Structure 1
Amino acid sequence: MTNRGMPVTQADIYLRMSKDLTGEEAGVARQEEECRKLCAQLGFQVRHVWVDNDLSATKAHVVRPDFEAMLVSEPPAIVCWHTDRLIRVTKDLERVIELGVNVHAVMAGHLDLSTPAGRAVARTVTAWATYEGEQKAERQKLANRQSAVAGRPYTAGIRPFGYGEDHMTILAEEAQAIRDGAKMVLEGWSLSAVARYWTELGLLSPRGVAAGGKAWTLRGVKKVLMSPRYIGQSTYLGEVVGEATWPPILDPDTHYGVVAILGNPERFSGGQRTGRTPANLLAGIGICGECSQTVNGRGYRGVQVYGCKDTHTRTPRSIADDRASKATLARLVFPDFLGQILGSQQSQEGQSAASLHSEAQMLRERLDGLATAFAEGAINMSQMTAGSQAIQKKLEAVEAELVGSSGIPPLDPVSGIAGLIAGWPTTPLPVRRAWVDFCVIVTLNPQRGRKASDMSTDDHVSIEWRDVEE
């Protein structure tokens, strides 16, 4: 066939590979060599070579840039290695037919699109190619599921963080970073903090390395820490389907605790409401001097402040946090208080009752968090069920240990009070919050018509020491 009534003396070569595992483009190079031989046999000069490497032609969301550019360029003829490299679905065939050009294939001969019979043949060939592609996809899905049920890793993609190229061998440095990240989340740190920590260690995600060294994203960190892979569970399409053959990195208690926190859509808000993880020191602890409600963190005219529900007070967080921290540390070193603390520090099992109560409450919140995460679609039924069972078992053990014990918030048995005071700035937020609430009553006062700049620290914040008996 001719294009616009002129003899065809030129042709464009189109090359495509669905998967290029090495990235060396060896497959398309072999195709090009064969296509150039065919052009020489047909007497065609090669006008342009179009290449879509490592791209599928059957997935609706995948755009083939060079295929689109070739259609726009109005090629005089098209030469390809096989017609299924050019067209795999009917809609693409129709677009090629609209060009009014012929297609020559090294392995499938000539498609004469100038006649009804030729176009019918082309449509039939494409229909069967589409059918075979769909059948192949179904077979692959079945094979992938069977492999997942058997606990074998899916090794076709990029290796998972924490494991080697075989998707089985634990990489010690990355595995420790995952454990540290999980611990940070349980202690109240944000995903941003974990992302910075991993990036500063120089441990980029395998996908980030493949993309040119991109730093960790919040989404990437969350995906790692919530994946059942790291407790030795195999999944298919997000559902746990079997026990994995690769070794775990996290223990189930840690994993499900992290899932409960990260899966809860309300986890970034402060306050004492069940299932929330306060993001600042005095949220749910400080009291409004006007209405006696607890305060939460918020922003006001570009300043981070604490305020009650009715906004009677807008106390700058920097002032309130500094005052509360200093008052807590002062209370800790006061002689009468320190003596009573040391006298009642250990429970019958070597752990404080306050610490056990705090842990029990945390576990209850995680149970609620899992339920909320499931309701919001953040996790699936298998994750919620397995997580709830693991957390409930731990909660029962903690509640049993609570019988007859008494004491104080978490305290390092080695460094003691001195270590707590010296390390206060870097102490995890939940521990600092527990000690502030244990040692002092913090009241945040309303401005009552005064300018914030005219108010002293004592005008903003009132402190009352607690007695140990309380």
Structure 2
Amino acid sequence: MPKRAALYLRQSKSDDEGIERQTERTTALATARGWQVVETFIDDDVTASKPRGPKTAWGRMLAASESIDVVIGVDLDRVVRSTRDLNTLIDHGLMLATVDGEIDLTTADGEFRASMLAAIARFEVRRKGERQSRANAQRAAKGGVPKGVRLKGYTTDGKLLPKEADTVRALFDGFSTGLTLRTLARDYDLTPSTVRTILTNPRYAGRRMYKGEVVGTGDWEAIVTEELFDSVNRRLADPARKTNRTGSTARKHLGTSLFRCGECDDHPTVRTAGSGGRYTCPACRMNRTAAPIDDFVLRLAEARLTQPDALAALTPDLDTDPLHNEHAALTERKATLAGLVADGTMTRADVRDAVERLNARLTEIDRALAGADRPAVMLTEDEQRAGVAALNLDRQRALIDVLMGVHLVRVPRGKRGFDPDTVQVLWKG
């Protein structure tokens, strides 16, 4: 009985020899040996240096190993690139034949020769990968435009696209003034996840990243300032923003997760429950009708804005320049260390302690700046004329958050109608 042979043909993007030529050469070998080709397995545009799962031709070939005696490939590198792949073939009881010389994996000599060749192939793959990683790190440290998918607002070579750049600026400005991801997504025909992805991409602030670390300043024009980018991302990372526990993405009431319970010592935020709209405390189960409370709070905000010092309350005078300057200096120092590691001047072990100290101080500064990142609620003349009630819900919530803290308490037993004394307001600024 002739041996049952399977042709394994693999081609990656960098290969010069295509599938058609491989088919000719492996078929010729099978014919010369008198073997019967029972099936052909083709992995097109697949690299053997990465795991090949059950859905690949490699995986299907292993699954059919009981009907195969020998695997034929053009050369060893085309079939296996590691001793792990080689051991897989051995475990399945398969012989391996290549156009440049047969390797019989059923013998000790053949297994030894194949193991040596596979180890050499693995060494070459890793050495090539290390060279590529060093080249990528050096290019990143020099500020070059990253390769890959085009970023909204830029061409592939890093030049600004004015209309898209305006949209990106509007997203950052809108979020900084209190608009939610969902509102911004609706206004600019995007998804909330896309908006978040844009707001968290350091390239828009002109920062060059490599493996999650800032390694320098990019040689492209930044769309937003570093201060605005950092402010937006501190707000995005604030755990207090995680207020959606019901699965709904649309807020319908002014005080959901903004107003607090005045009955509990730790003052948890209230939630909205019921189709009629009621504020409830998750701790003490206080229950209040939302509509009259919202109306009362908005009227208080309207009255507050008529007072002479209202502008100062909306734009608190917080001198954060020293912190921002220190943050920028430390970030630049960290990028310099990353560049020294990238070009081989220093190792990661050499700079580990210094980077840890820099990270600790940067964390302290971020915490100090977090308190200054309240939404900047500047009302236009048209908005001032129309009044607070005409603002959209996001703007109303941002305004309330800047002006006051609202605590709700229970209505006295037997009391009918809305009682303003059950809404305790603590003015800010």
Matches within 5 A, 1:386-401: none
Structure 1 residue 158, shift from structure 2 partner:
3.2
CA distance in structure 1 between the partners assigned to 2:416 and 2:411 by the alignment: 12
Q: Which residue of 2 aligns with 1:327?
A: 296
Q: Does 1:297 align with 2:264?
A: no
Call closer, same or farther: CA 1:250–1:126 in 2, change over 3 Å. same
Q: Does 1:163 align with 2:154?
A: yes
Structure 1 residue 57, shift from structure 2 partner:
2.6
- Give yes or no for contact 1:295–1:308 (8 Å, CA) kept in 2: yes
Structure 1 residue 255, shift from structure 2 partner:
0.8
Query: SS where residue 354 of structure 1 aligns?
Result: helix
Query: SS where residue 123 of structure 1 aligns?
Result: helix
Structure 1 residue 299, shift from structure 2 partner:
6.2
Structure 1 residue 145, shift from structure 2 partner:
0.8
What is the aligned counterpart of 1:458 among 383, 403, 418? 418
Query: SS where residue 56 of structure 1 aligns?
Result: coil
What amino acid sits opposite 2:85 in the alignment? Answer: D
What is the aligned counterpart of 1:7 among 2, 13, 16? 2
Q: Does 1:183 align with 2:157?
A: no
Structure 1 residue 89, shift from structure 2 partner:
1.1
Structure 1 residue 65, shift from structure 2 partner:
2.7
Call closer, same or farther: CA 1:7–1:443 in 2, change over 3 Å. closer
Query: SS where residue 316 of structure 2 aligns?
Result: helix
Matches within 5 A, 1:55-454: 55-59=46-50, 65-74=56-65, 75-106=68-99, 108-155=100-147, 157-166=148-157, 168-194=158-184, 200-201=189-190, 216=191, 218=193, 221-269=195-243, 281-282=254-255, 286=259, 288=261, 290=263, 294=267, 296-298=269-271, 306-308=279-281, 310-311=283-284, 313-315=286-288, 319-320=289-290, 322-330=291-299, 340-341=306-307, 343-344=308-309, 352-357=311-316, 410-421=377-388, 423-434=390-401, 437=404, 443-446=408-411
Structure 1 residue 260, shift from structure 2 partner:
1.1
What amino acid sits opposite 2:316 in the alignment? Answer: H
Call closer, same or farther: CA 1:89–1:302 in 2, change over 3 Å. farther
- Give yes or no for contact 2:179–2:394 (8 Å, CA) kept in 1: no
Structure 1 residue 189, shift from structure 2 partner:
4.2
What amino acid sits opposite 1:72 in the alignment? Answer: A
- Give yes or no for contact 2:143–2:217 (8 Å, CA) kept in 1: yes
Structure 1 residue 394, shift from structure 2 partner:
12
Query: SS where residue 315 of structure 2 aligns?
Result: helix
- Give yes or no for contact 2:260–2:269 (8 Å, CA) kept in 1: no
CA distance in structure 2 between the partners assigned to 1:360 and 1:41 by the alignment: 83
Query: SS where residue 428 of structure 1 aligns?
Result: helix
Q: Which residue of 2 aligns with 1:349?
A: none
Query: What do the CA deviations read for 1:48-71 (whole angstroms, capped 9, x no partner)?
Result: 222333433333596663212201
Query: SS where residue 415 of structure 1 aligns?
Result: helix
CA distance in structure 2 between the partners assigned to 1:280 and 1:65 by the alignment: 52
Query: SS where residue 77 of structure 2 aligns?
Result: helix
- Give yes or no for contact 2:97–2:103 (8 Å, CA) kept in 1: yes
Structure 1 residue 444, shift from structure 2 partner:
4.2
**TM-score, normalising length: structure 2:** 0.70
Structure 1 residue 87, shift from structure 2 partner:
0.7
Count matched residues.
388
Structure 1 residue 195, shift from structure 2 partner:
5.2
What amino acid sits opposite 1:356 in the alignment? Answer: T
Call closer, same or farther: CA 1:224–1:53 in 2, change over 3 Å. farther
**TM-score, normalising length: structure 1:** 0.65
Structure 1 residue 354, shift from structure 2 partner:
0.3
Query: SS where residue 43 of structure 2 aligns?
Result: strand
CA distance in structure 1 between the partners assigned to 2:90 and 2:265 by the alignment: 76
- Give yes or no for contact 1:234–1:240 (8 Å, CA) kept in 2: yes
CA distance in structure 2 between the partners assigned to 1:469 and 1:133 by the alignment: 62
- Give yes or no for contact 1:280–1:297 (8 Å, CA) kept in 2: no
Structure 1 residue 127, shift from structure 2 partner:
0.9
Q: Identical aligned pairs, as a percentage?
A: 25
Structure 1 residue 330, shift from structure 2 partner:
4.3
Q: Which residue of 2 aligns with 1:377?
A: none
What amino acid sits opposite 1:117 in the alignment? Answer: D
Query: What do the CA deviations read for 1:279-306 (whole angstroms, capped 9, x no partner)?
Result: 9733686465656975513366899754
CA distance in structure 2 between the partners assigned to 1:383 and 1:232 by the alignment: 20
Query: SS where residue 257 of structure 1 aligns?
Result: helix
Structure 1 residue 174, shift from structure 2 partner:
4.0
- Give yes or no for contact 1:144–1:154 (8 Å, CA) kept in 2: no
Query: SS where residue 261 of structure 1 aligns?
Result: helix
Call closer, same or farther: CA 1:183–1:154 in 2, change over 3 Å. same
RMSD of aligned residue pairs (Cα, Å): 4.8
- Give yes or no for contact 1:307–1:314 (8 Å, CA) kept in 2: yes
